[in-house]
Chain A
């Protein structure tokens, strides 16, 4: 079964608005990553947040991690039409699960111009 589960499955917003996507997972993690995938293309790594970190920023992206709730959120501020894509979270575990990221089924974001 998938470790990470994104919510919502689909999100549609107007350009300039903020978009928030959530990810929940079941077992302890070493780190959590967010990826973007444009239609028909490979995944692009956005941010990696380690289990001892609570928040990370990269440009218009802000990721939070709450290990007590086993959840993470990705916030895209001032969205643009070019942000239209699917967003996936992936979790890396410990020991035998180290370095084997398990992906959720993604959130499809549509930003309308």
Chain B
């Protein structure tokens, strides 16, 4: 089966600019996650979707981050405006159902200068 697709692979932006990441999960996976992984740390959950509804966004900095999952398939994560501390790898993962283990995409490496 095809894996989780993410784009772009790399992005460099200046602080205060905006950026968007895209994720296409495995077909049929109802649960989709966005994680932020800062260099040297483990992934930190930003938001969890079940189909096209938000299950948990308690750790999403909502003043600058937003995410949507239209039609319960693809998802986009946006940062506006970006800060230097947003430099990280943004990982998308999907799962058949909660608690079933995740399949991760290759991630988008964001550098904010």
Chain A residues with CB under 8 Å of chain B are 2, 4, 30-31, 33, 35, 40-45, 48, 88, 90, 92, 96, 98-106
Contacts and interface: CB of A to CB of B under 8 A. Distances in A.
Contacts of B41: 105-106
A100 to B, nearest CB: 6
Interface string B27-60: 0000101010000111111001000000110000
A44 B104 contact: yes
B97 A99 contact: yes
Nearest to A45: B101
Given A41-B106, A42-B106, A42-B107, A103 B43 contact: yes
Interface string B11-27: 00000000000000000
Contacts of A4: 42
Contacts of B43: 43, 88, 103
A52 B44 CA distance: 26
Interface of B: 4, 6, 31, 33, 35, 40-45, 48, 55-56, 91, 93, 95, 97-107, 109
Given A41-B107, A42-B107, A43-B91, A101 B102 contact: yes
A102 B45 contact: yes
15 contacts: A2-B42, A42-B106, A42-B107, A43-B91, A43-B93, A45-B101, A92-B98, A99-B31, A99-B55, A99-B95, A100-B48, A101-B102, A103-B35, A103-B42, A103-B44
Given A44-B104, A105-B42, A92 B91 contact: no
A101 B55 CA distance: 13
Contacts of A102: 45
Contacts of A88: 42-43
B29 to A, nearest CB: 12
Contact of A92 (B4, B93, B99, B106): B99
Contacts of A101: 45, 102
